[in-house]
Amino acid sequence: MCAIAGIFNSRGGRDIDRDALGRMNEIQKHRGPDDQGYHVEPGIGLGHRRLSIIDLKTGHQPLYNEDRSVCVVFNGEIYNYQELIPELVALGHRFRTRSDTEVIVHAWEAWGESCVARFRGMFAFALWDRTKETLFLARDRLGVKPLYYAVLADGNLIFGSELKALLAHGSLPKDIDPPAIDEYFALGYVPEPRTIFRSALKLLPLTR
C-alpha cells in the first residue's frame, strides 16, 4: 500500500503551495512509511508515500522518463509489467530501474492515454507530461485503489489516495452532500463518484 497526492493549477502555471502539498502527503504516511518524494514545478506538485515491495533499492518516486519531461506517482501493482518491458525497449525506451512504476512513464510515451489498456493490475496514478502540459489520472478497472479529487475555487485541482488528504490541503469546502448521507444509510457506503463532501469526488475506475 502506498499513497499519492497532488496539486495542479489550471490557471496559468502558478506556484504550488509546497506546505499544503506536504500536509497532504504527510497525513497519508501510514500508507507508505518507508519513503517519501516530491516533484514541484510551476503549475504542478506531486507527492508520494512509499511502502517498499518491488525494486527496494531504485523504486523511489516520483519516477521520471529519460529526459525528466514525464513524471509519475503511483499506488498499486502492475502484474504484467515484465511482459511490457521488452516491447518498450524495442521501441527505444531505456529502463533505469526494475520497478513496475517505470513501465507507466514509458508506456505513456509510447501509447498515450491508451497505455492503461495495456496494464493488468490494481493501481491509481498521477502522471505529469511537461511537454504536453497534461496531467493524467487513472484508476484500475475494478477500482481497487482509491483516488479522490476536488476542483477548488482558485482553480487548483487537488487529489489524494484518501479523502483526508484533500482536507489537509486546507481549502476544501466541508459542506456535506445530503444525497450521500441517504446513500450511506441505505447502502452502508457512499457509491462513487460521490463522497460525503459535496465538493469532493472519487475518480471512477477505467471503463475500457
Which residues are known catalytic residues? 2
Edge-to-edge strands, sheet with 63-64: 63-64, 70-78, 121-129, 134-139
- The answer for residues whose C-beta is within 8 angstroms of residue 133's C-beta and 6 or more apart is 43
**94/92 Cα distance (integer angstroms):** 7
Total length of the chain:
208
Residue 90: its H or E element? helix 81-90
**82/80 Cα distance (integer angstroms):** 6
